[in-house]
């Protein structure tokens, strides 16, 4: 293997045949991008307090190393902030061109702020943070070293988890999310590879490299982070209403994978009607309800908090979950092949080392059997509890009184106008005949007066109906004309006359509205 002409880390000249740099000790083999981007074994940080041994994993946000704390004499995991696209100049990190120095500086500040929050948790279900600092132009996070395997690795090795063990995982991770959400943070990347099964039996939530703050019920902007099969619909958008239900969807999808051995369909496919494969028949009803409610496509149909999910897991039924919409028409599902967990090139960045060999597998299987027995004992204790009192039926509600039929607006006003016009027409017709000089010489003067009154009433009725329908036009014109004439006679100037006419039109419209509402 031919060595490069210079060291890719410190830039020092390298002689032919050198396998390591004589200045910085970096490996000079052409092993690919990983060998050029990760820090070489033996690199020391914080003035020699931490010495790196090997790479444990590399993800989109950083590289995790197996390291030694020389002061405390203990094994630790060190995570280096190293976003996709970054390079090195010597040991220093050079941010990608797509970010630039300012954006990377903000990312580094956020990384350290989140490290401070994680350091305050101190919960056994969350990976413990021991230290954090800046060096080589980036930031570092020192965590406890975990021995065991991830949930994803356990599924690949031994297949689906027993339902009672899956319930233990569900409750432990829900408790971890309860702590994280109480701090105003979202994990955003719950999946089998980010749940660690410690050899002592601890179930630990790891890899907080994607954590972000959230404001419940409000639309906020986040960098898109989508892990198909585990990410809910809102994570496909860079601006959406994120909340605890976002992480709970991913936890439900993770539990589905643990119970069935199959990666669930993507949330986009489920929203378009792709059926979810059935859970095993042996799945307890409370665990089944927890998985299906968490994986609801709509936000309001999921548990709204980790506490609500834990109530479902305990069988208390305390979650506020909206009823699901009517399912799409049934179609004959195609046979689903088991989808194994996609093997990562390296272990999860947050995870620690793994016990290797048959002895570690036997220890893990023994611990899983102990978890199953513990869950069975807990289930028996749950069954011994007295059942809740039967609900008392409520009396049927009293019938509501019939609602009165609303009267049509303007009926009374129209009748009054038509009646007034009819009476005026009758009086006018009778008076007209009465004022005729020849009325006394008619054969029947009284009959003639009545006939005139009748004709006037008919004419008044017709005119009243016409007036009612023409009122919106006639009344404003009439009012404007009267005011215009009076204003002219009083000698007002044209602007005053026009203003008074407009005011008369407005007043007539208001009056007409009042008349029609009677």
CATH number for position 131: 3.30.200.20
- For residues 41 and 69, membership in a common domain is answered with yes
Is 469 a member of any domain? yes
Give pLDDT < 50 ranges for the chain: 1-4, 30-35, 319-352, 354-356, 401, 403-409, 439, 442
35 vs 5, 30, 58, 87, CA distance in Å?
16, 7, 12, 12
**Residue (of 212, 235, 82, 230) closest to 151 by Cα position:** 230
- For residues 261 and 174, membership in a common domain is answered with yes
423 vs 226, 254, 410, CA distance in Å?
82, 86, 20
Q: Can you tell me the distance from the alpha carbon of 280 to that of 293, in angstroms, rounded to the nearest whole number?
A: 16
Q: Please give the distance of CA 460 from its chain centroid, rounded to a whole number.
A: 69
| Number of domains within the chain | 3
Is 433 a member of any domain? yes
Q: At 54, list the tokens.
A: 């090997």
Is 380 annotated as belonging to a binding site? no
Is 401 a member of any domain? no
Is 9 a member of any domain? no
What pLDDT, on a 0 to 100 scale, did the predictor assign at position 244?
Answer: 95
271 vs 74, 268, 347, CA distance in Å?
49, 5, 32
- SS3 category, 380: helix
What pLDDT, on a 0 to 100 scale, did the predictor assign at position 486?
Answer: 86
Is 14 a member of any domain? no
Q: Can you tell me the distance from the alpha carbon of 175 to that of 190, in angstroms, rounded to the nearest whole number?
A: 13
- For residues 211 and 350, membership in a common domain is answered with yes
Bridging pattern class, strands 148-150 and 195-198 = antiparallel
Strands laid side by side in the 195-198 sheet: 148-150, 195-198, 203-205
Overall size of the chain counted in residues: 518
Residue 506, number of CB atoms within 10 A of its CB = 13
- For residues 55 and 164, membership in a common domain is answered with no
What pLDDT, on a 0 to 100 scale, did the predictor assign at position 14?
Answer: 65
User: Which domain covers residue 97, as residue numbers?
Assistant: 33-144
Q: At 316, list the tokens.
A: 């208390």
**Residue (of 122, 35, 133, 9) closest to 78 by Cα position:** 133
Is 482 a member of any domain? yes
- For residues 104 and 223, membership in a common domain is answered with no
- For residues 192 and 287, membership in a common domain is answered with yes
Q: At 353, list the tokens.
A: 């080392």
What pLDDT, on a 0 to 100 scale, did the predictor assign at position 344?
Answer: 42
Query: Which of 364, 383, 402 is the endpoint of a domain?
Result: 383
154 vs 162, 222, 320, CA distance in Å?
12, 32, 33
What pLDDT, on a 0 to 100 scale, did the predictor assign at position 332?
Answer: 43
Is 306 a member of any domain? yes
- For residues 83 and 156, membership in a common domain is answered with no
- For residues 247 and 359, membership in a common domain is answered with yes
- For residues 309 and 417, membership in a common domain is answered with no
Query: What CATH number did the domain enclosing 357 receive?
Result: 1.10.510.10
Query: Which of 366, 383, 400 is the endpoint of a domain?
Result: 383
φ, ψ of residue 274 to 5 degrees: the values are -65, 125
Q: Are 306 and 123 in contact (CB under 8 A)?
A: no
Q: Are 450 and 430 in contact (CB under 8 A)?
A: yes
CB neighbour list of residue 228: distance below 8 Å, 6 or more residues apart: 266
DSSP 8-state symbol, 20: B
The enclosing H or E element of 54 equals strand 50-58
Query: Which of 144, 174, 189 is the endpoint of a domain?
Result: 144
Q: Can you tell me the distance from the alpha carbon of 90 to that of 517, in angstroms, rounded to the nearest whole number?
A: 87
Q: What is the 3-state secondary structure (H, E, C) of 107-168?
A: HHHHHHHHHHHHHHHCCCCECCEEEEEEECCEEEEEEECCCEEEHHHHHHHHCCCCHHHHHH
What pLDDT, on a 0 to 100 scale, did the predictor assign at position 319?
Answer: 46
What's the pTM? Answer: 0.56
Is 24 a member of any domain? no
- For residues 474 and 490, membership in a common domain is answered with yes
Burial state string for 120-129 with b = 16 or more CB within 10 A and e = fewer than 16:
ebebebbbeb
CB neighbour list of residue 461: distance below 8 Å, 6 or more residues apart: 418, 421, 422, 425
Q: Can you tell me the distance from the alpha carbon of 193 to that of 56, in angstroms, rounded to the nearest whole number?
A: 13
Question: Is 99 exposed, middle or buried (CB count within 10 Å of its CB: 0-12, 13-18, 19+)?
Answer: middle
CB neighbour list of residue 240: distance below 8 Å, 6 or more residues apart: 219, 220, 234
Q: Can you tell me the distance from the alpha carbon of 294 to that of 299, in angstroms, rounded to the nearest whole number?
A: 9
Q: Can you tell me the distance from the alpha carbon of 197 to that of 173, in angstroms, rounded to the nearest whole number?
A: 11
What pLDDT, on a 0 to 100 scale, did the predictor assign at position 57?
Answer: 85
Q: Are 141 and 208 in contact (CB under 8 A)?
A: no
CB neighbour list of residue 507: distance below 8 Å, 6 or more residues apart: 479
- For residues 219 and 368, membership in a common domain is answered with yes
Query: Residue 32: CA atoms inside 13 Å, Cβ hemisphere, count?
Result: 1
- SS3 category, 28: coil
- For residues 177 and 258, membership in a common domain is answered with yes
What pLDDT, on a 0 to 100 scale, did the predictor assign at position 516?
Answer: 65
Q: Please give the distance of CA 301 from its chain centroid, rounded to a whole number.
A: 11
> Taken in order 445, 450, 451, 452, is the CA torsion positive or negative?
positive
């Amino acid at each position: 293997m031919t060595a490069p002409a210079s060291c890719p880390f410190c830039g020092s000249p390298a002689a032919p045949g050198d396998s390591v740099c004589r200045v910085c000790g970096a490996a000079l083999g052409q092993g690919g991008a990983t060998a050029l981007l990760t820090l070489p074994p033996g690199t020391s940080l914080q003035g020699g307090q931490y010495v790196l041994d090997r790479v444990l994993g590399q993800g989109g946000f950083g590289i995790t190393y197996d390291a030694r704390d020389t002061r405390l004499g203990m094994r630790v995991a060190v995570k280096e902030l190293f976003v996709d696209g970054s390079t090195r100049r010597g040991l220093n990190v050079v941010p990608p061109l797509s970010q630039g120095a300012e954006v990377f500086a903000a990312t580094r500040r956020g990384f350290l702020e989140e490290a401070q929050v994680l350091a305050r948790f101190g919960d056994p279900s969350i990976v413990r943070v021991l230290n954090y600092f800046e060096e080589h132009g980036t930031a570092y996070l020192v965590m406890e070293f975990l021995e065991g395997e991830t949930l994803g690795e356990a599924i690949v090795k031994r297949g689906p988890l027993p339902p009672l063990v899956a319930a233990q995982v569900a409750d432990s991770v829900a408790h971890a999310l309860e702590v994280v959400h109480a701090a105003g943070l979202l994990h955003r990347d719950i999946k089998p590879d980010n749940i660690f099964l410690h050899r002592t039996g601890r179930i630990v939530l790891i890899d907080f490299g994607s954590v972000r703050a959230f404001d419940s019920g409000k639309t906020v902007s986040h960098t898109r982070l989508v892990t198909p099969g585990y990410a809910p619909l809102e994570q496909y958008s860079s601006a959406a209403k994120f909340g605890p239900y976002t992480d709970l969807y991913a936890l439900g999808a993770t539990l589905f994978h643990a119970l069935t051995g199959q990666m669930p369909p993507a949330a986009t496919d489920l929203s378009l009607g792709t059926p979810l494969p059935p859970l095993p028949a042996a799945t307890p009803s409370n665990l089944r309800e927890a998985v299906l409610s968490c994986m609801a496509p709509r936000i309001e149909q999921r548990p709204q908090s980790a506490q609500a999910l834990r109530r479902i897991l305990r069988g208390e039924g305390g979650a506020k979950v909206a009823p699901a919409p009517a399912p799409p028409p049934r179609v004959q599902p195609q046979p689903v092949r088991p989808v194994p967990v996609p093997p990562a090139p390296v272990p999860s960045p947050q995870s620690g080392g793994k016990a290797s060999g048959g002895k570690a597998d036997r220890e893990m299987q023994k611990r899983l059997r102990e978890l199953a027995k513990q869950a069975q004992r807990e289930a028996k204790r749950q069954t011994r509890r007295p059942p809740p009192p039967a609900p008392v039926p409520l009396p049927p509600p009293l019938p509501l009184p019939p609602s009165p039929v609303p009267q049509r607006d303007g009926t009374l006003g129209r009748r009054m106008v038509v009646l007034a016009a009819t009476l005026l027409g009758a009086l006018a017709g009778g008076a007209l005949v009465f004022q005729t000089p020849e009325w006394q010489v008619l054969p029947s003067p009284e009959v003639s007066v009545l006939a005139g009154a009748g004709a006037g009433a008919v004419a008044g009725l017709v005119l009243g109906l016409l007036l009612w329908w023409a009122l919106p036009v006639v009344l404003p014109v009439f009012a404007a004309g009267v005011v215009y004439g009076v204003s002219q006679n009083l000698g007002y100037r044209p602007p005053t006359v026009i203003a008074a006419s407009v005011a008369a039109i407005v007043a007539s419209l208001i009056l007409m509205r009042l008349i029609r509402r009677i």
